Structure 1
């Protein structure tokens, strides 16, 4: 997300994209990533995390090639959505594979710490790497960068033993809740992006998103295998962590997008 944000001014000029198109170039990735992340963990439990991670890596790599070769902003947005699906399949499974293959509890804690630190380091590193790539080779280079990274990541995953599914039950994936989450988030993001230019459409989509949110809560409360469940004693700490993470992402990613748009307008 951060590396692409830096490339937005060049993407806008290279593909003749307006502000809404550039917003979708970012959100078409983050939307499926956010909406499918919880379901992907359950899919990995069912099918085996190694298999799902390999599928996610392959999908992300292929989508990165499509992004790099995109002739129009519409193709880029579609390819970014495929990238988001691949990332959603990868992320829960990579953590699960580390836990499954750790030799002992000490090694497990160390691996989880490295996993978290690597993800955290990517946030500030993205703008720096993206800026250098864009200046040296243009905006398409930020997508070509993913291809060798994916190839290198495939090697250790292929060497891991085949993980057995955690449960053979077919009802452990909350498909209904996932569909509602995807629909609600898609309507909400569309309302925010399209609302300024089409207020009636933004209001309609916002109303639909609110209705879907109520429906989603009702469905999840009745579901024996909801997308997200945790012990009551942990709710306070997890709520605080979610608020902090949400504010951090809003400030960093939202601020970065706005700064690149200001840069684009001043250059124009």
Structure 2
């Protein structure tokens, strides 16, 4: 990048999300330092040219951007252990799928140790995990959610948008940790719960020849990472339980109409669903 100092990005956790960030920044010419608990993953990332060095706590302060792509509890542990080394770091962001606990810890540690922290959640991914499934264009055109500290300086979010530019996001959504978790319970977590529950029907083993696009769309995310999603669901259980209760209520309405052979009521329920989807503007 002529006339510009080379960007240094640190990434801890080189799975699907962290690995995709690493590939994207490396493809853009950045110096990428990475770390992962799995030695094979580190080897694969180095061989793929996704990282050019090992991220250590001491090297974290050299980073213009430090991305934490770990499960929420591990992200908090990493922040707690690494915080004393982060005073020279340009910006620290997590990439967790829930925000309240991680942001609470991140903002407190940032204030105590003198570094800038923002919560983050890239709204992209596939049903497969691990570095082997990562790709440089994973975030191209996707939305990146950013959670600034309460009353935070918006110049910090603008800085984040500049630093995240090589990933190719198409939109940045600024929100609070509370609102993020409430929305993500509906837009992401419920989709995984419904899909995972739906394929437990015995008919799922016999669907070949009887299914088309609607079945594929609904079942795609049934194949999930149980460990990761268990942690995300438990961390966000209040909002997720609210969505599950709403779903049970609405399903019960359909069932009651069917039991009564009430075609008028059933048609009304279906029409209401169409109306809701059209209002959502998808």
TM-score range for the pair, normalised by the shorter chain length = under 0.3
**Normalised TM-score (structure 2):** 0.21
Higher RCO (C-alpha 8 Å, min separation 6):
1
**Normalised TM-score (structure 1):** 0.22
Q: Which structure has the highest strand share of the two?
A: 2
Instruction: Please identify the structure whose Cα radius of gyration is greater.
Output: 2
Q: Which structure has the highest helix share of the two?
A: 1
